[in-house]
Amino acid sequence: MTADRMPAMFDPGAESMPEDQRAGLQQHALRAMIDRLLAAGGLQGRRLAEAGLTSGADVALGDLPRLPMTLKTDLWSQYPFQMLAVPLSDVVAVHGSSGTGGRPTLVAYTRADLQLWARMCARALAAAGAARDSVVHNAYGYGLFTGGLGIHQGAIELGATVIPVSGGMTSRQVTLIRDLRPDILTCTPSYAIRLGEALAEAGLKPGDGLAIRAGIFGAEPWTDALRARIEELLGLRALDIYGLSEIIGPGVAAECVVAADGLHVNEDHFLVEAVDPVTGAPVPDGTAGELVFTTVTKEALPLLRYRTGDIAALRRGTCACGRTLVKMSKVTGRRDDMLVIRGVNVYPSEVERVLLAEPSLAPDYLLVVDERAAQARLLACCEYKTDSPLPVPSGELEARLREALGLSVQAILVPAGTVPRIEVGKAVRVARWPGGDPPLPGLS
Ligand code: DLL
């Protein structure tokens, strides 16, 4: 990409700052955060005091790996507001995610936190090539989920026009895309496929009625194979955006359209570490580990070394786009979604990579962990494309899966429309089958 076509950064001073200069600012912000936590006297402040800290001045940036960690269970035990570092009257919004067992993980924002969040999402949009004259079709869900409102505020901060369509009602989305000709699409990657198919059915094709240049997809894991599928279907550059409610929502990290090979972490606000998911010890750059974030500038809910459960690798250096922010790889799995099948560790993303590399298969699949016998089996139920005359023989697919995973997996090809479609939100790709009715009809 030539310099004159390089999209402008939203915050060039911060995004392309020399690393050593940024480290100075990070240390300053970390110390101030520790002072705020100690003063607030909540769970995190007490842990710091127990670790012998009396002031932020006691720590240097390099001490971060030795500071106490914070877990999702801490947010649950302090539900709803015991972890706030500001008076409740300073909180202007709450968001959250549905936790397991229906327990929401609730997070809170001050006015300054919302401004910070808008800026982080504006950075992500600008990194995708969006600008003031852009029209952003925002099909992330609006509500307690952070996706919709986070991107919404980011688009406004950038000065673009946002279409707050939220998720679902796909035929209305098709009409709006036809009439308003957005250049940027934001939604989950699984919904991008659903929308792409609906647009194609309505006769809207890349270059013929569709003007979307880039899509910013996240909130669930997706592979490069799915990226290729989305790009082909919608004729756009498919970029990854990562975030979690606890840290701020979308905008923790995002890919740039220039390199599109990893997500720039906004580490001037969110310090990032990759640690061994079992021991918690730091892993070297380039090695997959569990991401741990420290929100050094957030007011309402500052989190010290928050363990995300998300697995990715970090990479440093200056990107072709000019950003010096550390990059994280795509999330390759979660600490807790790793399946252990007959002693072999399997991440659903590894299976997805094999399935989506096969052109005769559609992007919808369900992995079924058959737990009816003592030795669990993994079944990969994949839809074949309706227009594919000869789907791949299941034996061939099984050989590829065995080669990639070191495990025998039973491949079951099913007609399009068999795997339950998600209408909006996050796709469910794994089902357990402890007994009783099978998760998909016809399995035995
Ligand atoms: O999913 C925030 C978000 C909204 C991110 C829109 C991107 C776009 P939560 O609902 O709290 O927040 O879920 C956070 O979703 O810990 C990851 O496991 C997963 N996740 C989020 N983005 C990605 C991604 C939002 N790009 C949890 N790739 C996180 C893989 C992702 N997983």
Predicted TM-score of the model (pTM): 0.89
pLDDT on residue 207: 86
Does residue 305 contact residue 64 with C-beta atoms inside 8 Å?
yes
Tell me: pLDDT of 423 over 80.
no
Q: Under 8 Å CB-to-CB from 101, ≥6 apart: which residues?
A: none
pLDDT on residue 335: 86
pLDDT on residue 442: 84
Write the DSSP string, 237-260: EEEEEEEETTTTEEEEEE--TTT-
CA atoms within 13 A on the CB side of 285: 8
Own/partner long-range contacts of 396-405 (Cβ < 8 Å, ≥24 apart): 397/354, 397/355, 397/358, 400/354, 400/358, 401/351, 401/354, 404/350, 404/351, 404/353, 404/354, 405/344, 405/346, 405/350, 405/351, 405/354
Q: Which atom of ligand 1 lies closest to the CA of 105?
A: 11
Is the distance from the beta carbon of residue 215 to the nearest atom of ligand 1 less than 6 Å?
A: no
Is the distance from the beta carbon of residue 249 to the nearest atom of ligand 1 less than 6 Å?
A: yes
If phi over 0 gives left and psi between -120 and 50 gives alpha, with beta otherwise, what is residue 311?
Answer: beta
pLDDT on residue 100: 47
pLDDT on residue 101: 47
Q: Which atom of ligand 1 lies closest to the CA of 263?
A: 26
pLDDT digits (tens, 9 = 90+) for 303-355: 999 999 999 999 999 999 999 999 999 999 888 877 888 888 788 888 998 99
388: phi then psi, degrees, rounded to nearest 5: -95, 110
Average pLDDT over residues 361-390: 90
Average pLDDT over residues 19-27: 98
Under DSSP, is residue 197 helix (H, G, I), strand (E, B) or coil? helix
pLDDT on residue 368: 95
Distance 39 CA to ligand 1 centre (A): 31
Is the distance from the beta carbon of residue 294 to the nearest atom of ligand 1 less than 6 Å?
A: no
pLDDT on residue 2: 58
Distance 190 CA to ligand 1 centre (A): 13
Mean pLDDT of the chain: 94
> Which residue puts its alpha carbon closest to atom 10 of ligand 1?
97
Does residue 163 contact residue 186 with C-beta atoms inside 8 Å?
no
Tell me: pLDDT of 3 over 70.
no
Is the distance from the beta carbon of residue 384 to the nearest atom of ligand 1 less than 6 Å?
A: no
pLDDT digits (tens, 9 = 90+) for 61-107: 999 999 999 999 999 899 999 999 999 999 999 999 875 445 688 99
Tell me: pLDDT of 4 over 60.
no
- Count, in order, helices (H) and strands (E) of the chain: 11, 23
Q: Which helix (H) or strand (E) holds 126?
A: helix 111-127
Ligand 1 pocket mutation pick from 76, 98, 224, 244 by most atoms within 8 angstroms of CB: 244
Average pLDDT over residues 357-370: 92
Q: Helices 224-234 and 189-201 meet at what angle, rounded to 10?
A: 30
Tell me: pLDDT of 142 over 70.
yes
Strands 184-187 and 135-138: parallel
> The tokens of 182 are what?
């957005």
